Amino acid sequence: MMKIEVRFQVLLTGVLLCCLNAASMADDSLGNKEHRIPSVEGPIHVDGILSESFWENALKLNIGFEVRPGENIEPPVKTDVFVAHTKSHFLVGFRAFDPEPDKIRVRYCNRDDLYEDDWVAVIVDPFNDQRRAFDFFCNAYGIQGDATESPQFDAAWDAIWDSAGRVTDEGYEVEMAIPFSSLRFPGSEGELTWGFDLIRRYPRDQRYHLTLFPRDRNNNCYWCQSDKMTGFRGVTPGRNLEFDPTMVVIQNQTREGFPNGDFENDPSQEDLGLTVRWGVTPNISLNATVNPDFSQVEADVQQLEVNEQFALYYPETRPFFMEGADFFNTRINTVYTRSLFNPDAGLKVTGKSGRNAFGLFSVQDAVTNVLLPSSQGSNFAALDEKNIGTAFRYRRDMGEASNLGAIVSDREGEGYFNRVAGVDGSIRLSQRDRVGFQFLGSQTQYPSEFAADNGLGEDQFDGYGVDAVYSHDSSGLDYYIVYVDMSPELRTDMGFNPRVDFRGTDFGWGYTWNRGAESWWTLLNVGSGFEYWDEHDGDFLKKGYTFWFDYGGRQQTELHVNGIYGSQTYGDLQYDDRRMGFSGSWIPLGNLYLNLDGNYGDRIDYVNARPGRRFRIGPGISLKVGGHLRLDYFHNFERMKVGGEELFTAQLGFLRVNYQFNRRTSFRAIVQSGFYNYNTELYDEGWPTEEKVLASQLLFSYTINPQTVLYLGYADGFYGDEDINLTQYQRGVFAKLGYAWVI
């Protein structure tokens, strides 16, 4: 059996080897051209027509490189870009030429739902530190999308800015006017230098990615290669004060004495809330909220939860937490804001000064949800009491693209606390080599009654977690090694770590081949690896040889195949673990998107602790009709057998119909269904033969910007089993009004 000391020696050997590579690190730059951005004056009228006089004085650039699928070659279409600024706004205009304008893929859609269209984007790194960037996208109608990169792409971030676009006889034009109050940048009376990129996505038979500057695929730092723009003398975000009052009204009805009782009104909810954002300086932002609006307008997509060993992860969609959320991301998930269920008030401050970045938020929550993890499974529990949850993050930039950081989370309630602290880092050793790590420690104590009910000790207990990785990335050969150690007592109650009491390594390699758009394939990748995990008392958990294959080709076809050949334990028994999975997508027509994923192989029946075989398949289709209507349908089917007999089948369906009247107004209908059939002869007594669930949501929305919104909606839920027909048990209507008042 491989011991922890051997694993750690392997990790240290990898680190030493990559440190030797660092001595021969080459220059990052392919070009790093510097451009001077002019200051202009005049009224800003954002209409998608580049006719204002100040555009004549703007800096003119050309998106001159195709970087995918080709590598730094001449692009198939021409794109002129105009860049300037006033005292209050950053201005960008695009003139995207197209030899066949009738083939431009564009439609009216919701914000942040444009990425399958033709689009253009400006990406800026205002601190010029290669750590965090702000992305602004527009399709040909000027529909907005925005995100942050740090370096993960996070579309949850929203900013208030203006844009417009129109299709022309020569292609399309887009105007963007981004207030400096929506950005973070160093405070200075002199000139500033920003990293930036200009991008055009041109989706036809291939998905062409066109950019301002060339890319070196052997360089793991994208922003180290970027062009720079200098100027912005004397710009400020103004008073940068934003008030966002909200009003939410909800009226639900619940069927008393289900399934035959009558509907009765639940207590109505009328909530007035206020969130205030103040740009204390150009690089420090303060958010405060009282009775905040944490309503979710977008319903969570259901996931198959039958026979799952560990708790499922759901993404955050609530506005207060999405601001600066990427900054709290670390290798070990220490801050998972969905654990904060019903906050009464909150405070958040984020900022950066020089090489130092920091973030802090504190929230009083009316409910204390707790994730109880182990090596064999996890489940949720709740303490019926308030708590105060606080998280602090600090990061120090090192060198050109490295950093060291610290994170602290603390949740306090009556007779309960969970305190977590740790350090982390990402060290760039060369253009191709990087080391990442995080070390955590935790202290936890639960109330006596809760501890007794869940088989936990009443005394305080301490735990730790370690996660480290070395990776080598190039245009051809990649390889990596990961070491993870999570003690049995580690708890991150404000994070999401459903498995503890394990340690082990995972290492592997991959090789990539790239070709240009003229080939039937544009990308091929193959790789394999090995993983080994055990518990802290030395008991074996799992091991396996892994492999994968990726393909990219015409009609934007993508295919990923993966598998494992190994074994694992559950309880006191060891089981085979031999599985294969796949996922793929295909866009045969500009308005039709198809995808399919699935897997087949060994699967433990976790309810009865016995071996089984699982088959799962999930087809999906998206169809755009005209420029306004979109239909999406996804289906998941899962069947499991034990001893050759069918144990259960489960099906989930998700249908969404969205009609976008114009840029601001839309109507959406969602229907989700679930059907479960169980072989009761293979379960203990009391297991149902079947279960049925159905939920629907209707929503009318009028959106001016992410905070100025009007939503009117209806939602309901149905349930049934072998004795009860599918019967409605809950229904309700809701309204939400929000307004952004910017000073």
What are the structural domain ranges in the chain? 1-30+345-500, 31-231
Give 12-41 pLDDT, tens digit per residue: 444 434 443 443 343 444 457 999 999 998
Pairwise CA distance, residues 403 & 401, whole Å = 7
Give 335-375 pLDDT, tens digit per residue: 988 777 778 888 999 888 888 999 999 999 888 888 889 88
- Predicted local distance difference test score (pLDDT) of residue 13: 40
Cβ neighbours of residue 201 closer than 8 Å, sequence gap 6 or more:
115, 117, 118, 119, 120, 121, 207, 208, 209, 210
- Predicted local distance difference test score (pLDDT) of residue 22: 41
DSSP secondary structure string, 226-268?
-EEEEE-TT---TT-EEEEEEEEEEEEEEETTTTTSPEEEPPP
Residue 24 has a CB neighbour count (10 Å cut-off) of 8
**CA 523 to each of CA 69, 114, 192, 389, 475: distance values in angstroms, whole numbers, following the listed order:** 8, 24, 39, 45, 11
- Predicted local distance difference test score (pLDDT) of residue 307: 64
DSSP 572: T
Tell the CATH topology of 31-231: Immunoglobulin-like (2.60.40)
89-97 and 79-85 as β-strands: parallel, antiparallel, unpaired? antiparallel
Q: Residue 742 corresponds to which tokens in the numbers above?
A: 């910017």
- Predicted local distance difference test score (pLDDT) of residue 311: 65
- Predicted local distance difference test score (pLDDT) of residue 559: 98
**CA 706 to each of CA 499, 582, 703, 739: distance values in angstroms, whole numbers, following the listed order:** 36, 36, 7, 9
DSSP secondary structure string, 308-359?
-SSPPP-----HHHHTTGGGG--SS----GGGB-SEEEEEEEEEEETTEEEE
- Predicted local distance difference test score (pLDDT) of residue 303: 53
Q: Residue 131 corresponds to which tokens in the numbers above?
A: 């750590």
- Predicted local distance difference test score (pLDDT) of residue 423: 97
Query: Hey, which residues does 674 pair with through a beta bridge?
Result: 652, 693
- Predicted local distance difference test score (pLDDT) of residue 294: 53
Q: Residue 461 corresponds to which tokens in the numbers above?
A: 């207990």
3-class DSSP state of 632: strand
- Predicted local distance difference test score (pLDDT) of residue 310: 61
171-179 and 34-36 as β-strands: parallel, antiparallel, unpaired? unpaired
- Predicted local distance difference test score (pLDDT) of residue 341: 73
Pairwise CA distance, residues 289 & 346, whole Å = 5
- Whole-prediction pTM value? 0.87
Of 132, 133, 158, the residue nearest 145 (C-alpha)? 158
- Residues of the chain with pLDDT below 50 are 1-30, 299-301
Residue 379 has a CB neighbour count (10 Å cut-off) of 13
- Predicted local distance difference test score (pLDDT) of residue 21: 42
